[in-house]
């Protein structure tokens, strides 16, 4: 049987895609926990903060970075297909978790292994949260990839910061509101007032993170071109 070896570009895609899927699935698994960020700002005499957001925001900076790098080197179609595959894998993950919750735990007296109550409390996300997570992921990723590609078609290899931040401004606005509204507001787990407080915070945090990641995007671009693909970098 004939075997095929991968070149550097193909190995790079496998590596970046693997990181992308891992961080996206991880973000969805932990997204049902709310956390408080103890920051307080005084804006014209009005105290703003502390801020509440979902803990699933932690892996998203890596997803942002990988989305832009994949789009930069492999194009919109590759990111679009990878996003669909990732959404299917997220659904598969939740199905396996759901099945595992239906299997009774074998409890050993004195053991610190999780019993059914503890296990289900951690992994027992409501169905609407799962639906909201997958919908938000797909819509935001496809929009981000499209906008990134469209801006690149207008600017060429220049202004990575513009297409990276510009695509995030719109895609994460949709993501931040969809996942909370479908997953928490519709089932009644979150009031509309709380939703209007948490969603903007979630969005602003993602936007700030995306802006702060801009130097890493340039660094990743330089490393990939110079040391992996052996290409001359001509970006700014």
Name all domains of the chain by residue range, CATH numbers in brackets.
8-103+113-228 (1.10.1760)
The pLDDT score that the predictor gives to residue 231 is 58
Helix 127-155 to helix 60-102 angle (10° resolution) is 150
Q: How far apart are CA 168 and CA 102, in angstroms?
A: 38
C-alpha span between 185 and 191 (Å, rounded): 6
Residue 19 pLDDT > 90:
yes
Mean pLDDT, rounded, for 16-22? 94
Q: Is 1 exposed, middle or buried (0-12, 13-18, 19+ CB in 10 A)?
A: exposed
CA dihedral 177, 180, 181, 186 (to 10 degrees): 180
- Inter-axis angle of helices 127-155 and 8-29, to 10 degrees? 140
% of residues, the chain, pLDDT over 90: 11
Please tell me what DSSP assigns to residue 57.
Answer: G
pLDDT tens, position by position, 128-155? 677 777 888 888 888 888 988 898 888 8
What's the pLDDT at 72?
87
Q: What is the pLDDT of residues 98-113, one digit of tens each?
A: 888 888 887 777 666 6
Report how far residue 15's alpha carbon sits from residue 74's, in angstroms, rounded to the nearest whole number: 13
Q: How confident is the model at residue 235 (pLDDT cuts 50, 70, 90)?
A: very low
Eight-class DSSP state of 60 = H
Q: Give per-residue pLDDT as tens, 23-70.
A: 999 888 887 777 787 777 776 777 766 777 778 778 887 888 899 889
Please write the tens of the pLDDT for every residue from 207-233.
888 788 888 888 888 888 877 767 555
Q: Do residues 174 and 147 touch, judged by C-beta distance below 8 A?
A: no
Q: Grade residue 84 by pLDDT with cuts at 50, 70 and 90.
A: very high
Instruction: Tell me if 51 sits within 8 A of 205, measured CB to CB.
Output: yes
* pLDDT higher than threshold 50 for residue 87: yes
CB-based contact 173:206 (threshold 8 Å): no
Q: List the structure tokens of 34.
A: 């709310």
- DSSP H or E run through 85: helix 60-102
């Amino acid at each position: 049987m004939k075997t095929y070896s991968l070149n550097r570009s193909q190995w790079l895609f496998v590596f970046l895609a693997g990181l992308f899927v891992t961080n996206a699935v991880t973000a969805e698994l932990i997204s049902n926990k709310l956390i408080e960020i103890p920051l307080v700002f005084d804006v014209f005499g009005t105290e703003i903060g502390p801020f509440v957001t979902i803990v699933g925001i932690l892996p998203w900076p890596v997803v942002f970075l990988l989305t832009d790098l994949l789009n930069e080197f492999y194009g919109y179609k590759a990111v679009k297909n990878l996003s669909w595959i990732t959404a299917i894998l997220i659904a598969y993950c939740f199905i396996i978790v759901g099945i595992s919750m239906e299997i009774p735990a074998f409890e050993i007296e004195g053991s610190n292994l999780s019993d059914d109550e503890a296990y289900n409390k951690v992994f027992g996300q409501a169905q609407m949260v799962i639906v909201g997570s997958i919908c938000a992921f797909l819509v935001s990723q496809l929009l981000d990839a499209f906008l990134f590609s469209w801006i690149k078609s207008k600017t060429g290899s220049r202004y990575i910061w513009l297409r990276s931040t510009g695509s995030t401004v719109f895609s994460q606005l949709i993501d931040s509101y969809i996942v909370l509204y479908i997953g928490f507001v519709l089932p009644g787990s979150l009031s509309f007032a709380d939703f209007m407080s948490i969603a903007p915070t979630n969005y602003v945090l993602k936007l700030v993170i995306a802006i702060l990641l801009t130097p890493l995007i340039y660094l990743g671009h330089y490393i990939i071109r110079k040391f992996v693909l052996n290409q001359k970098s001509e970006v700014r």
